[in-house]
Structure 1
Amino acid sequence: MRILFIGCVVYSKVILEHLLNENYEIVGVLTKDDTGFNADYFDISSIALKNNIPFLKTKNVNEEHILSWVKSLNADVTYCFGWNSLIGSDFISLIPRGVIGYHPASLPQNRGRHPIIWALVLGLKETASTFFMIGEGADDGDIVSQNKIPILEEDSSATLYDKLIESSKSQVIMFTNQLIDNSLVPIKQDHSASNVWRKRSKVDGKIDFRMSSRSIYNLVRALTKPYPGATVVSDGNEFVVWKVSIAETSLVNLEPGKVLAANENKYLVKCGLSTDAVLIEEHDFSNNISVGSYFI
């Protein structure tokens, strides 16, 4: 099975290395230079160089010179794992067994952007590691493999990312072997059950202390590393918060955003509900935040 591999993030790196370690034939690699778009960017051309695999870098796999190069590889299948632009029909037509993509969500539900972040922001208890056949639509092709992944209270974007990788490593071996022995039977998605998550913006990462402590906890754990972090504003300065825990206070008559206590560089802050508070445990505050001041 001759595999062309496309990707540009840490997830891509891990799965490509896993396939190579298991002695599958990678005949080409497509990746890109860092554009600042992917917080978890990784240049997988270094892996291609190490293993003497032909590679090209491009922002658009649908360009004519890329299509000519892809045709010359005679790949049986393409794995596109960790790529943020659509693959056109001209590219797909060059690959006899099709293009398989990856989406860390419970397709047909939760198509679209930032699936790890939105799952945590929304407080979902479960997501999925899903491989699917790429067509002209976004995340709507037949499902090749899907494993449900529980989301625990203590999970963050980093721990959920790791869970998805571990599941993917076994899944990709299983369906690659099924491709080899012609036993793979993809399952059509129920499009009537689908929804599409939107692209998040900078404002989506701002902590509003009128929110509940639970909502703030979910936002912070969703945006922690490898992502850019949730933000707060104090005295006109923006700072990043990496970790909070849910707390309580008996001071029900105080406004959201007020700093109630400070100890060992940790800050207890009033939230939106009557006894709600969060303890800011990890952050990048560059100046002292005084008790009685406000995050607004």
Structure 2
Amino acid sequence: MKFAFVTCVQIGLSCMEAIYEIDGNLDLIISIPDEKAKKKSGRIYVDDFASKYNIPVVKSNHINDEIIINTIKEYNIDWLFIIGWSQIASKEVIEAPNLGAIGAHPTLLPVGRGRAAIPWAIIKGLDKTGVSFFKMDEGVDTGLILGQEEIPIGENEISTTLYNKVNLAHEILIKKLYQGLIEGKVEGYTQDETKATYWDGRKPKDGEIFETMKMDEVDRLVRATTKPYPGAFFIKDGKKIIIWKGIKSNSRRSSNIEFEINLEDGYYYGLNYEVLDK
């Protein structure tokens, strides 16, 4: 059975490494050119990994480019993994492998279809999330579920630690799934459309803090957008203050070290912040 992998982010690389940890094998890696999406969260380059295991690599600007479709067919790929890839694969790409394409999404589908799953889970105040592997169809995160791993979200969880949890859940799931595919024991099940929700994409500007916000709202925003994301920020005196870590308080502090934001129901203090020109 032949497998190919499409990725350009750390979670995808971790999945490929996990496959080789169980003595698996990949027959092709597809990625984007090195000069593209350099600031993408979690961006990695596949060349060292591919060289280590002597895996052919093809790079193209878009997953739906003809060269990608032709290469999948040329290598007679059975299963195509598409992990951490923001471009939507066309019907032609999904149907190019002999048995299908498999996607992964960092929520417990059908909850949280769409984008920015890790920040949204914290912003929405959820107490759990997860990772879902699914057989791709023409919808967005709508295919048959092939496996899920639940992830608890701590009260003070930040995107950095949740990203690591999501990464580990991908590794655990792909080992199970890869072995199941080899043995022909994977059975998918249909998503419950009555429980489906969709989360929009997020841009750096969505991290702006306003004094009209509540303390809890600001705290979730800071925790959700800290590294590896662009960070929550506040504009003051023509400066952009990015707050990477903060604390909420009902009282004013006298310390000059912390950056203070006066909110409707209290104060928020930047314990780790960066001041930039707007």
Question: What's the secondary structure of 1:209's corresponding residue?
Answer: coil
Partner Cα separation in structure 1 for residue 143 and residue 171 of structure 2: 21
Partner of 1:6: 6
| CA gap 1:286/1:62 in 2 versus in 1, 3 angstroms | closer
Listed as ranges, the gaps of 5+ residues in structure 2 are none
Aligned positions of 1:40-79 closer than 5 A:
40-79=42-81
Aligned positions of 1:176-187 closer than 5 A:
176-187=178-189
Partner of 2:225: 223
Structure 1 residue corresponding to 2:145, chosen from 143, 146, 150: 143
Partner Cα separation in structure 1 for residue 189 and residue 254 of structure 2: 54
Partner Cα separation in structure 1 for residue 22 and residue 257 of structure 2: 47
Question: Is structure 2 residue 22 aligned with structure 1 residue 22?
Answer: yes
Listed as ranges, the gaps of 5+ residues in structure 1 are 250-259, 288-296
Which residue identity does 1:180 align to in structure 2? I
* Count of residues in Structure 1 that have an aligned counterpart in Structure 2: 275
Q: Percent identity?
A: 29
Partner of 2:263: 271
Aligned positions of 1:201-212 closer than 5 A:
201-212=203-214
Query: Is the 1:209–1:271 Cα contact (8 Å) retained in structure 2?
Result: yes
Deviation at residue 170 of structure 1 after TM alignment? 1.6
Query: Is the 2:115–2:201 Cα contact (8 Å) retained in structure 1?
Result: yes
Deviations 1:1-30 (A, max 9, x none): 321011111111111112123221100001
Partner Cα separation in structure 2 for residue 263 and residue 245 of structure 1: 13
Partner Cα separation in structure 2 for residue 202 and residue 163 of structure 1: 23
Partner Cα separation in structure 2 for residue 216 and residue 127 of structure 1: 21
Query: Is the 1:12–1:44 Cα contact (8 Å) retained in structure 2?
Result: no
Aligned positions of 1:103-252 closer than 5 A:
103-249=105-251
Query: Is the 1:7–1:31 Cα contact (8 Å) retained in structure 2?
Result: yes
Question: What's the secondary structure of 1:284's corresponding residue?
Answer: strand
Aligned residues: CA RMSD: 1.6
Partner Cα separation in structure 2 for residue 71 and residue 81 of structure 1: 19
Question: What's the secondary structure of 1:106's corresponding residue?
Answer: coil
Deviations 1:26-62 (A, max 9, x none): 0000111332462221112331122211001112122
Q: Which runs of 4+ in 1 moved over 4 A?
A: none
Question: What's the secondary structure of 2:275's corresponding residue?
Answer: coil
TM-score (normalised: structure 1):
0.88
Deviation at residue 286 of structure 1 after TM alignment? 5.9
TM-score (normalised: structure 2):
0.94
Which residue identity does 1:168 align to in structure 2? H
Q: Which stretch shows the higher mean deviation, 17-26 or 218-227? A: 17-26
Partner Cα separation in structure 2 for residue 140 and residue 51 of structure 1: 33
Deviations 1:240-292 (A, max 9, x none): 1101112111xxxxxxxxxx44526213432112xx222210001269xxxxx
Query: Is the 1:261–1:269 Cα contact (8 Å) retained in structure 2?
Result: no
Deviations 1:147-166 (A, max 9, x none): 22111012111101111111
Question: Is structure 2 residue 25 aligned with structure 1 residue 35?
Answer: no
| CA gap 1:286/1:164 in 2 versus in 1, 3 angstroms | closer
